[in-house]
């Protein structure tokens, strides 16, 4: 089945409508909300703070610890049983690897910087929304960063390379591949890359270029949200 | 040759290019990438000679030798106390750095400072990954009495204190409150008049919310005067 | 809580003031928003009380009824104190505080018979609706008990039954317009005793100075449907009487926000 019109009418290189806001959790050191289509992620940063047990402390620099969680009512079908799952633990890990390359934690040896990500509503692209929110939250917290990280999924749906899949596209019957990416947009370097499905070798580069362009747009929103906190 | 890409007094965000050209030098909270100076925090851009600096609008307090800080006693030991100054390790206050009095060995130190007491100290040494030493021998360094204690972002402390203490003095004079501000972002307010104490608290909250705007001194002055008239 | 901080708080209270200038029985601004996760949840809501923010979601599922109540459905209430919402909450298995909160909010709804369980029966002995309520704080600035129970009721009001297929399996992609059988709206109101003073809607600082806490479940007609005493200091019967009166009175503020 040829996919020549997207289910929601978007262009193949168009993201869903997005919204970003910073400073949404007042008790946290930094926080942000990122919404893309119907996927809503909130991220909050605490730290640098003491890391237990001491055996895990790195005496040369602070340690980054990410925790991704879906609220029980945020899935698309049944209630999601609360608590960490293998999936959420893996996402927590790749989130940490996506953010760490831009951070400079050398001023906080022995500490931990905790990033908590919660999904309030989901419609695919959840780990990407979480990373995008987390990057803003880290900047909002004043953690030194060489760049923001922006994250979006690309994929292959019905033979077409598309940007920012929604759940319907992820579940597309013909055939669907989804590729989660994250970029340090200033340098254009990739910090997250995961693929679930098949893609032709020659399509990969095109998909990654499409993702990078998408991330540049997301970065603009992140920058405006961070600056927007101090308007007026 | 070179040019500022983001003008002074504007707000920059991590990863943004602040200036281009080898003429410029990377100051605090920025770094050089090739010919460009890049921001590492959300902050206000400043140019000092050739140095491009950022004044961050948020960020954890990092202990520096010489800083005056306010901390909570969280441990009473044999040779001294452990103090929480908001760093991810507890700071040490040894007996010999705390007082010139003779304190016999084995004396119960909670007689001097007990759990939950708040003290104004100076950081005398920052060493290694886990060491912050405090001292209390010096003017103004003391145990604090009953008062209102709250946290402010340490990045805003310079604005709260003001040039040569002008801002904090203005609040003290107008409200009659005693105020101690630690570089680590802990503030202590003492007053016999709870209503005036709330005015001082609100004035400080206002500084925090509007620290990045201009004309702040005038705004706070106006607020203090109208509060006085209201009382 | 440190002595000098508590002493200062008592001094302030003795002047009839709270640290944020509220009167003892003043609530902060209460705000309710419905349908904040409508794509995923069958019902959802966000509640703000001052800067405390809580979200709640309702999921509905079909299961076999319990043998001793074959013609009834059931609810399960779960509250998790997310480390996202406070520097004091840690990751890991549910803390005793979150378990207490879950169970108290559960009892407020269950014992008030706010939800008519008989109307949750699909087919006696075979199929019942299970109403699953999950509550999460987003920012903890105190008084999570009241915010949680308000968010739970708001999410229940927002909820609509999903469609059932011919085998009585849920089709989550289609909602009906049928509301849940919510017969009444039980809400929790918490009163704190600090020294000799009773205060309502405590901030996080006031909570850490609390000598005793009484959370009262109240129905629209003023009937009490749940009680929970917390913290370390004992209360006299007279104290309890006074605190319950305050709770009944102040629940009206929470109820107004539900409209």
From CA A44, how far away is CA A134, in angstroms rounded? 7
Q: Stretch C112-118: mean pLDDT, rounded?
A: 91
Q: Looking at the partner chain, which of C86, C134, C140 has a beta carbon nearest the beta carbon of A72?
A: C134
Nearest CA distance, C7 vs chain B (angstrom): 7
B128 falls in which pLDDT band (50, 70, 90)? confident
- Compare all CA atoms of chain C with the CA of B192 and give the residue at the minimum distance: C11
Q: Which of C71, C75, C70, C69 shows the shortest CA–CA distance to C56?
A: C75
Whether residue A11 is contained in a domain is answered as no
Q: CB B40 to CB A104 under 8 A? A: yes
Cβ-based neighbours of B133, under 8 Å, separated by 6 or more:
B91, B92, B93, B94, B97, B123, B124, B125, B126, B127
Cβ-based neighbours of B14, under 8 Å, separated by 6 or more:
A102, A139, A144, A145, A146, A147, A148, B39, B40, B41, B42
Which chain A residues touch C163 with a CB distance below 8 Å? none
Cis peptide before A48 (omega within 30 of 0): yes
If contacts are CB pairs under 8 Å, which of residues 205-224 in chain C contact chain B?
Answer: none
Torsional class of C247: left (φ above 0), alpha (ψ -120 to 50), beta (otherwise) = alpha
- Compare all CA atoms of chain C with the CA of B191 and give the residue at the minimum distance: C8
Q: Map out the domains of chain C with their CATH numbers.
A: 3-257 (3.30.230.70)
Apex C257 CA angle, C253 and C259, nearest 5? 125
Does the complex come out with an ipTM higher than 0.90? yes
A174 falls in which pLDDT band (50, 70, 90)? confident
| Structure tokens, A180 | 């989660």
Which chain C residues touch B72 with a CB distance below 8 Å? 2
Which chain A residues touch C204 with a CB distance below 8 Å? 27
C1 touches chain B (CB under 8 A): yes
- pLDDT tops 60 at residue B103: yes
Altogether, the residues listed in chain A come to a count of 232
For residue range C9-21, what is the model confidence (pLDDT) as tens digits? Answer: 999 999 999 999 8
- Compare all CA atoms of chain A with the CA of C132 and give the residue at the minimum distance: A79
Average pLDDT, chain A: 95
From CA C150, how far away is CA C144, in angstroms rounded? 10
For residue range C188-245, what is the model confidence (pLDDT) as tens digits? Answer: 999 999 999 999 999 999 999 999 999 999 999 999 999 999 999 999 999 999 999 9
- pLDDT tops 90 at residue A23: yes
End-to-end CA distance of chain C: 38
Query: Which pLDDT score, from 0 to 100, does residue A1 have?
Result: 58
A188 touches chain B (CB under 8 A): no
For residue range C132-146, what is the model confidence (pLDDT) as tens digits? Answer: 999 999 999 999 999
Cβ-based neighbours of B4, under 8 Å, separated by 6 or more:
B18, B19, B24, B45, B47, B52
Q: CB A42 to CB C80 under 8 A? A: no
Q: Looking at the partner chain, which of C59, C93, C141 has a beta carbon nearest the beta carbon of A72?
A: C59
Whether residue A196 is contained in a domain is answered as yes
| Structure tokens, B205 | 């909250």
- Give the residue from B43, B88, B126, B154 with the most A CB atoms within 10 Å of its CB, the best one to mutate: B88
Q: Looking at the partner chain, which of A46, A74, A120 has a beta carbon nearest the beta carbon of C87?
A: A46
CATH value at residue A22: 3.30.230.70
A232 falls in which pLDDT band (50, 70, 90)? low
C-alpha dist (Å) from residue B156 to A98, B53, B120, B153, C243: 31, 16, 19, 6, 41
- Compare all CA atoms of chain C with the CA of A74 and give the residue at the minimum distance: C40
- pLDDT tops 80 at residue C103: yes
Task: Kindly write down the DSSP assignment for every residue of chain B, as one continuous string.
Answer: --EESS-TTSEE-TT-EEEESTT-EE-TTEEEETTEEEE-SSEEEEEETTEEEEEESS------TT-EEEEEEEEE-SSEEEEE-SSSSPEEEEHHHH-SS---TT--GGGTS-TT-EEEEEEEEEETTTEEEEE--STT--B--S-EEEE--GGGHHHHH-GGGHHHHHHHHHH--EEEE-TTSEEEEE-S-HHHHHHHHHHHHHHHHHTTSSSHHHHHHHHHHHHHHH-
From CA B220, how far away is CA B226, in angstroms rounded? 10
**Where are the extended beta strands (E) located within A59-175?**
63-70, 111-121, 149-157, 160-163
Query: Which pLDDT score, from 0 to 100, does residue C47 have?
Result: 98
The model carries a pTM of 0.96
For residue range C158-182, what is the model confidence (pLDDT) as tens digits? Answer: 999 999 998 899 999 888 999 999 9
A139 touches chain B (CB under 8 A): yes
More confident residue, C109 or A17: A17
For residue range A176-203, what is the model confidence (pLDDT) as tens digits? Answer: 999 999 999 899 999 999 999 999 999 9
Q: CB B146 to CB C7 under 8 A? A: yes
Nearest CA distance, A161 vs chain C (angstrom): 26
Q: Which of A127, A128, A125, A202 shows the shortest CA–CA distance to A167?
A: A125
Q: Looking at the partner chain, which of B116, B147, B198 has a beta carbon nearest the beta carbon of C8?
A: B147
Query: Which pLDDT score, from 0 to 100, does residue B1 have?
Result: 64
H helices of chain A, in order, are: 86-99, 126-140, 167-170, 201-228
- Compare all CA atoms of chain B with the CA of A149 and give the residue at the minimum distance: B15
Residue C82: which H helix or E strand, with range? Answer: none
For residue range C145-162, what is the model confidence (pLDDT) as tens digits? Answer: 999 999 999 999 999 999
Range of lowest pLDDT (A91-105, C55-69, C100-114): C100-114
Its domain, for residue A101, covers 18-225
Q: Stretch A88-102: mean pLDDT, rounded?
A: 98
Average pLDDT, chain C: 95
Q: Looking at the partner chain, which of B116, B195, B197 has a beta carbon nearest the beta carbon of C4?
A: B116
Range of lowest pLDDT (A4-8, A146-150, B66-70): A4-8
- pLDDT tops 90 at residue B130: no
Whether residue A2 is contained in a domain is answered as no
Nearest CA distance, C134 vs chain A (angstrom): 7
C-alpha dist (Å) from residue C130 to A219, C58, C126, C156: 42, 10, 13, 13
Query: Which pLDDT score, from 0 to 100, does residue A12 have?
Result: 96
Cβ-based neighbours of C167, under 8 Å, separated by 6 or more:
none
Q: How many domains does chain A have?
A: 1
Average pLDDT, chain B: 93
Query: Which pLDDT score, from 0 to 100, does residue B136 have?
Result: 95
For a pLDDT cut of 70, what percent of chain C falls above it?
99
Q: Map out the domains of chain B with their CATH numbers.
A: 3-56 (2.40.50.100), 68-135 (2.40.50.140), 148-230 (3.30.1370.10)
Q: Stretch A91-102: mean pLDDT, rounded?
A: 98
| Structure tokens, B54 | 């950022």
If contacts are CB pairs under 8 Å, which of residues 26-85 in chain A contact chain B?
Answer: 29-30, 47-51, 59-60
A74 touches chain C (CB under 8 A): yes
From CA A196, how far away is CA A199, in angstroms rounded? 9
Q: CB A44 to CB C57 under 8 A? A: no
Residue with tokens 């990377």: B26
C112 falls in which pLDDT band (50, 70, 90)? confident
From CA B120, how far away is CA B159, in angstroms rounded? 20
Which chain B residues touch A59 with a CB distance below 8 Å? 129-130
Residue C49: which H helix or E strand, with range? Answer: strand C43-49
C11 touches chain B (CB under 8 A): yes
For residue range B20-66, what is the model confidence (pLDDT) as tens digits? Answer: 999 999 999 999 999 999 999 999 999 999 999 999 999 999 999 99
The DSSP output letter for C63 is E
Q: Looking at the partner chain, which of B118, B197, B198 has a beta carbon nearest the beta carbon of C4?
A: B118
Q: CB C4 to CB B72 under 8 A? A: no
Q: CB B58 to CB A110 under 8 A? A: no
Contacting subunits of C (3+ beta carbon pairs below 8 A): A, B
Query: Which pLDDT score, from 0 to 100, does residue B54 have?
Result: 95
Query: Which pLDDT score, from 0 to 100, does residue C132 have?
Result: 97
Burial, A130: exposed, middle or buried (Cβ in 10 Å; 0-12, 13-18, 19+)? buried
From CA B87, how far away is CA A32, in angstroms rounded? 24
For residue range B173-206, what is the model confidence (pLDDT) as tens digits? Answer: 999 999 999 999 999 999 999 889 999 999 999 9
- Give the residue from A132, A137, A142, A191 with the most B CB atoms within 10 Å of its CB, the best one to mutate: A142
- pLDDT tops 60 at residue B231: no
Query: Which pLDDT score, from 0 to 100, does residue B85 have?
Result: 96
Apex A24 CA angle, A18 and A29, nearest 5? 125
C1 falls in which pLDDT band (50, 70, 90)? low
User: Buried b vs exposed e over A188-216: b needs ≥16 C-beta within 10 Å?
Assistant: eebbbbebeeebeeeeeeebbebbbbbbe
Looking at mean pLDDT, say which of B188-197, C17-26, C28-37 comes out highest: C28-37
Which residue numbers of B have CB closer than 8 Å to A's CBs?
Answer: 11, 13-17, 29, 31, 33, 38, 40-42, 56-60, 62, 88-89, 129-130, 155, 212-213
Task: Kindly write down the DSSP assignment for every residue of C206-231, as one continuous string.
Answer: HHHT-SEEEEEEE-TTS-EEEEEEES
For residue range A64-75, what is the model confidence (pLDDT) as tens digits? Answer: 999 999 999 999
């Amino acid at each position: 089945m040829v996919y020549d019109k997207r289910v929601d009418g978007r262009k193949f290189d168009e993201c869903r409508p997005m919204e970003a806001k910073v400073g949404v959790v007042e008790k946290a050191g930094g926080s942000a909300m990122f919404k893309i289509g119907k996927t809503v992620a909130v991220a909050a940063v605490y730290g640098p703070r003491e890391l237990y047990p001491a055996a895990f402390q790195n005496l040369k620099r602070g340690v980054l610890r990410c925790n991704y969680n879906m609220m029980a009512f945020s899935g698309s079908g049944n209630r999601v049983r609360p608590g960490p799952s293998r999936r959420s633990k893996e996402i927590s890990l790749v989130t940490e690897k996506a953010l760490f390359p831009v951070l400079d934690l050398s001023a906080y040896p022995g500490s931990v910087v905790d990033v908590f990500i919660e999904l309030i509503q989901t419609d695919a692209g959840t780990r990407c929304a979480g990373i995008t929110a987390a990057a803003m939250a880290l900047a909002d917290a004043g953690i030194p960063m060489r760049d923001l990280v922006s994250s979006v999924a690309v994929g292959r749906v019905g033979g077409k390379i598309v940007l920012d899949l929604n759940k319907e596209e992820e579940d597309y019957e013909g055939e669907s591949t989804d590729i989660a990416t994250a970029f340090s947009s200033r340098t254009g370097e990739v910090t997250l890359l995961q693929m679930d499905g098949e893609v032709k070798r020659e399509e990969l580069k095109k998909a990654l270029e499409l993702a990078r362009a998408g991330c540049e747009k997301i970065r603009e929103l992140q920058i405006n949200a961070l600056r927007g906190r101090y308007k007026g | 040759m070179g040019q500022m890409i983001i003008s002074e007094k504007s707000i920059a965000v991590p990863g943004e290019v602040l200036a281009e050209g080898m003429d410029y030098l990377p100051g605090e909270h920025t770094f050089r990438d090739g010919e460009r100076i890049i921001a590492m925090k959300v902050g206000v851009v400043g140019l000092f000679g050739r140095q491009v600096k950022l004044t961050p609008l948020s960020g954890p307090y990092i202990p520096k030798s010489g800083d005056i800080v306010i901390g909570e006693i969280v441990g009473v030991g044999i040779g001294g106390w452990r103090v929480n100054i908001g760093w991810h390790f507890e700071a040490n206050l040894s007996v010999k750095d705390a007082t010139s009095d003779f304190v016999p060995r084995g004396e119960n130190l909670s007689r001097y400072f007990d759990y939950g007491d708040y003290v104004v100290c100076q950081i005398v040494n920052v060493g290694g990954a886990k060491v912050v030493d405090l001292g209390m021998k010096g003017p103004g360094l003391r145990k604090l009495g009953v008062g209102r204690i709250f946290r402010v972002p340490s990045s805003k402390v310079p604005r709260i204190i003001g040039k040569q203490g002008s801002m904090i003095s203005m609040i003290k004079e107008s409200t009659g409150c005693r105020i101690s501000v630690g570089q680590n972002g802990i503030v202590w307010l003492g007053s016999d008049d709870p209503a005036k104490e709330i005015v001082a608290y609100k004035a400080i909250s206002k500084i925090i919310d509007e620290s990045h705007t201009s004309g702040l001194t005038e705004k706070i002055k106006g607020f203090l005067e109208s509060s006085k008239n209201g009382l | 809580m440190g002595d000098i901080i508590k002493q200062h708080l008592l001094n302030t209270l003795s002047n009839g003031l709270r640290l944020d200038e509220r009167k003892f029985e003043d609530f902060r601004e209460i705000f309710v928003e419905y349908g904040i996760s409508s794509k995923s949840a069958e019902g959802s809501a966000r509640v703000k009380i001052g800067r405390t923010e809580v979200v709640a979601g309702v999921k509905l599922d079909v299961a076999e009824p319990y043998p001793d109540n074959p013609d009834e459905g059931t609810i399960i209430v779960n509250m998790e104190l997310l480390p996202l919402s406070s520097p004091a909450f840690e990751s890991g298995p549910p803390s005793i505080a979150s378990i207490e909160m879950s169970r108290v909010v559960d009892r407020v709804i269950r014992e008030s018979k706010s939800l008519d369980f008989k109307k949750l029966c699909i087919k006696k002995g075979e199929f019942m609706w299970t109403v699953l309520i999950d509550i999460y704080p987003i920012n903890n600035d105190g008084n999570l008990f009241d915010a949680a129970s308000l968010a739970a009721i708001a999410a229940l009001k927002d909820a609509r039954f999903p469609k059932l297929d011919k085998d009585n399996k849920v089709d989550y992609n289609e909602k009906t317009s049928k509301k849940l059988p919510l017969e009444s709206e039980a809400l929790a109101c918490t009163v704190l005793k600090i020294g000799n003073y009773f205060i309502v809607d405590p901030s996080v600082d006031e909570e850490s100075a609390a000598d005793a806490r009484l959370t009262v479940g109240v129905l629209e007609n003023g009937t009490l449907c749940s009680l929970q005493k917390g913290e370390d200091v004992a209360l006299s019967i007279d104290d309890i009487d006074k605190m319950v009166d305050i709770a009944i009175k102040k629940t009206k503020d929470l109820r107004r926000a539900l409209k």
